[in-house]
Structure 1
Amino acid sequence: MLDFDPLYSTPRVEAVERFIDAHYALAEPVSCRLLQRGLNDVYLAVGGNGERYVFRLSHRRARGPADVKTETAFLTHLTQSGVPVAAPIPTRAGALFLQGAAPEGGREGVLFRALDGRTPQATDAGDALANGKTLALLHNAAETFSPDGALYRLDLEHLLHRPLARIRDSGVVEDTEVYGELETIAARTAKAIDAGHLTWTYCHGDCHGFNARINEAGEAVFFDFDDSGPGYLAYDLSVFLWAQVSFGRSSTAMWHAFIDGYRAVRPITPDDFEAAQRFVIVRHIWLMGEYASRAQEWGSEAVGWIAREANFLKVWESEQFVDRLF
């Protein structure tokens, strides 16, 4: 019989329950259910006393292994600095993360207490403002954090050049002229970003507005730091803008509210603000590269949209850096 070599396996909830029981001091019995399967596997875990937790099992991604060591160290630092985030829960042995065995190899697990509060609303300016404030608090706290041994730097190699290569190697964009347009746009964007005097910080990496819960005090409590790392502050800002304007959306009012919230806590340099608009292109190519790297796992039909995205990038580049809508 021929053995298949798995790209990605999904653990049974019973196995996750046993894993949590073995390593964490939660009230037993622990029951789990799968919330999300995708870039990571996310489970809701409920202790015997009704306490709710979230267990995240990292996916094996094209970038390499999850940097849970630096991520959990940063979350601990943010918690100690008073920034509202979902902090990791230590094991009985005091570890903030673990590795479990899967057929495709080791996968890292982190347990968090489930956040109270509501999901941010896409058209609520108050929620956008709250997200901006928390990101600014995060960047303030990052000034006293040393990311010792971080696996990834959110630089142009990580965010733009490697994702572009993944798009090329996946074969998803069959039209060589379209791929050439992507390369040209990426080259112009990289040149413009390299010419700026940009701030470097430790980034959340995925602050699109919905990796948060709005608590009773109106604060945005952040979670999902899987893509965090030392990088461009302008990129961290840009992810929220990208979420307002990509895939047919147009909600610049939310972007302005987000920026107002951020500036209520800390200033933004003109170069960083200008670059945030450039980084919308970087963010989009990064996402395209993430999906392209999953073509063998998810199938070409699920990632076929990538071939149509050159037009969005061309229009954004033309409008923002010729006609100046903002």
Structure 2
Amino acid sequence: MLEIAQSTPTADAIARVIELHHDRGPVVASEFLRRSFNQVYRIEFASGQRAVARLCAQRPRGEPNLVFEAHALAHWFEQGCAVSRCLPAKNGQVAVDVALPEGRRPLMLFEYLSGEFTGDAPDRIQAFARGLAALHDAGASYRGPASRYMLDLDYLLHQPLQRLLGAPTLTAEMRPQFEALARRLHEQIAELGELSQVLCHGDAHGENNFVTLDAQGAHQVAFFDFDEAGPGYLAYELAVYPWVMFPRVPDGVPSEKLLARWAAFVTAYREARPVPEADLAAIARFMAVRQFWLLGEYAGRIPTWGSQAMPTDFLRRQITMLTQWETLELPM
């Protein structure tokens, strides 16, 4: 029998699993939405209720953080934050195991949210930033089950580096270059002293939330996709938004539009929640940390995505870009 790295169940198959394990009635419509790090499906019940199902992928980091994620979402909701909560199975468990050719994988069901992504309008960006600040304020009182993972430099930088160093498309000359970049990056962050910790969303790049208008016409933001949530650096959390916008090419220069979006974000966040100077200074360094994290995630998925998801010329460009990012500064 062939060994399977990762299979993709159909939307209809996922619907049948949900009907069996969730006490929410028949599923009348289902749709496969996307394959990213996980596989995500839209579910519609005969009652009219909608939900989102997430089939957790086998992550290079290890087991999914299910119990922590479900309890953290419940806590944020109780504190008044708009989040997509976990919908437990009828046996009370936060996930059900699905038997697949590659082994058993957990399936979670979440509340359905509607709205639009953050986009580039200043008022929507400001709402996103205020919502993120509210998550961080509310997370300070979380006392539920502990997270499997800390979003520290071991998790975000050193473990991804080790996975990257094992990539078959990485040449012998590039290995010491990536190692030196990671070492200098760690040293730069250490020199900034003690940095603030928050309960992080972990992937707040502006498209893991929806923005809507309330009855008074004010922008409201609701967050979803907390697969990367956990305690970690505030500077890392704030770095994810500029990181996703920044040009991914050597000699990339941020446009005026990008800088305006960043200014709207960081100003609104600081108005809602003060940020110490050391954390502000660390944001640009954590953009590079985020890139190492991403490279490690790609390297860990080579059995599923193939080695050409990160070809040699791409990796060579990463060295040039990360070298330039060593002196990157963001206006505050």
Scaled by the length of structure 2, the TM-score of the pair is: 0.91
Provide Cα deviations, 1:264-311, integer angstroms capped at 9, x if missing partner: 221001011111111001000100111111122212222223342111
Question: Contact 1:246–1:312 at 8 Å: present in 2 too?
Answer: no
Partner-residue secondary structure (3-state), 2:326 = helix
Alignment of 1:1-326 (within 5 A): 3-121=1-119, 123-146=120-143, 148-174=145-171, 176-195=172-191, 196-217=193-214, 218-248=219-249, 250=254, 251-304=258-311, 305-320=314-329
Partner-residue secondary structure (3-state), 1:215 = strand
Partner-residue secondary structure (3-state), 2:98 = strand
Partner-residue secondary structure (3-state), 2:188 = helix
Cα distance in 2 between the residues matched to 1:18 and 1:309 = 43
1:162 is displaced (CA, Å) by 0.8
Cα distance in 2 between the residues matched to 1:47 and 1:116 = 16
Question: Contact 2:67–2:145 at 8 Å: present in 1 too?
Answer: no
User: Residues 325 and 230 from structure 1, CA distance in 2 versus in 1: closer, same or farther, beyond 3 angstroms?
Assistant: closer
1:238 is displaced (CA, Å) by 0.7
Cα distance in 2 between the residues matched to 1:106 and 1:194 = 40
Which deviates the most, 264-273 or 292-301?
292-301
Cα distance in 2 between the residues matched to 1:146 and 1:246 = 39
Q: Which runs of 5+ in 1 are unaligned?
A: none
Question: Contact 1:244–1:254 at 8 Å: present in 2 too?
Answer: no
Provide Cα deviations, 1:36-66, integer angstroms capped at 9, x if missing partner: 1131000011111332211011100110111
Cα distance in 2 between the residues matched to 1:36 and 1:260 = 33
Cα distance in 2 between the residues matched to 1:182 and 1:86 = 37
AA in 2 matched with 1:161: H
Provide Cα deviations, 1:212-265, integer angstroms capped at 9, x if missing partner: 111223122111100111111111111112112142573122111111221222
Partner-residue secondary structure (3-state), 1:264 = helix
Cα distance in 1 between the residues matched to 2:278 and 2:328 = 19
Which deviates the most, 86-95 or 278-287?
86-95
Cα distance in 2 between the residues matched to 1:306 and 1:34 = 31
1:147 is displaced (CA, Å) by 5.1
Question: Contact 2:52–2:109 at 8 Å: present in 1 too?
Answer: yes
1:30 is displaced (CA, Å) by 3.6
Cα distance in 1 between the residues matched to 2:323 and 2:67 = 38
AA in 1 matched with 2:237: D
1:84 is displaced (CA, Å) by 1.3
How many equivalent residue pairs? 319
Cα distance in 2 between the residues matched to 1:172 and 1:124 = 40
* Superposed CA RMSD: 1.7
Question: Contact 2:284–2:328 at 8 Å: present in 1 too?
Answer: no
Which deviates the most, 124-133 or 157-166?
124-133
Q: Which runs of 5+ in 2 are unaligned?
A: none
Cα distance in 2 between the residues matched to 1:167 and 1:246 = 21
Question: Contact 2:50–2:111 at 8 Å: present in 1 too?
Answer: yes
